[in-house]
Structure formats: C-alpha cells, structure tokens
Amino acid sequence: MLADIISKEPLAVAVRHGDDQWFDIVRWTIFALIEAEELGITAANAEEMLGSQRNEVRRLLGQVGDHGPMMGLDKRWAYNAIRAAGNYGEMYERNLGKGSPLGLPRGLNDLWTRSGLMYAPPIR
C-alpha cells in the first residue's frame, strides 16, 4: 500500500486448493465486478440497467446466457453481487480510495481504459 511500485507480481484473492467450483465463482465474480465498472453498472443503477439493449450488459446481468448455472449459481449471480457490493471501482473507493481512511489513488488498479491494468475477459 505504498505510493511507490515495489513489485510487479499480480496479487489476487486466494482459495483453498482443490475447490475448483469455489475458485471459478470467486474468479468470475471479480471479473464481473470489473466488467460492471467498465460498462457503467453500479449498485445504484443495476436495476435500471436490466432494461439495456446492449448484449454485454444483458449477459452480465443474467438476462441471456447461462454463465451462472455453469458454475452452480443462478442466472443473476453477477447482478446480485453488483447490487450487494457495487462494481470494482465502487468497492475500491469505499475500502481503499477516497471514501476510505487510506485515501489511496487507483493508479494501476484503475481500468485499462483509464491507463490502469484492470480488465476482465468477456462473460459468455
């Protein structure tokens, strides 16, 4: 949590070895929260975004496709996560960023579209 970059290895959540289903759920939930930020979906507007005609929004929110059921979850798993915790940016700001006692700038933890390193594969 220093201002200087002292390491380049990617750090992420960890799960117990051998629990492949839980690993998939955690990994794809993080991807979904990053994708939600990129698509402009927030905890506050997720319900409204259910009316979007954009295919990537419809897939993410579980209106089309079966990504959730392939992991043993319902179709609206990402929608539920976004509504509960917000997108990646909302979570960062609340816990590490301007809305937190730490006040850390996003820096490399920002979206790739804003010169950061955060991006997610498409949810299909």
For position 6, what pLDDT does the model report? 63
Tokens of 51: 């009316």
Separation of CA 95 from chain center = 14
For residue 77, give the nearest of 119, 30, 121, 40 by alpha carbon.
Answer: 30
For position 4, what pLDDT does the model report? 65
For position 114, what pLDDT does the model report? 95
For position 12, what pLDDT does the model report? 72
Q: pTM for this structure?
A: 0.89
Q: Tell me which residues of the chain have a pLDDT lower than 50.
A: none
What CA–CA distance (Å, rounded) separates 49 from 63?
11
For position 124, what pLDDT does the model report? 82
Beta bridge partners of residue 111, listed in sequence order: 118
For the stretch 91-124, pLDDT in tens is 999 999 999 998 989 998 999 999 999 999 988 8
- With DSSP H G I counted as helix, E B as strand and the rest as coil, what are the percentages for the chain, rounded to 5? 45, 0, 50
What CA–CA distance (Å, rounded) separates 57 from 53?
8
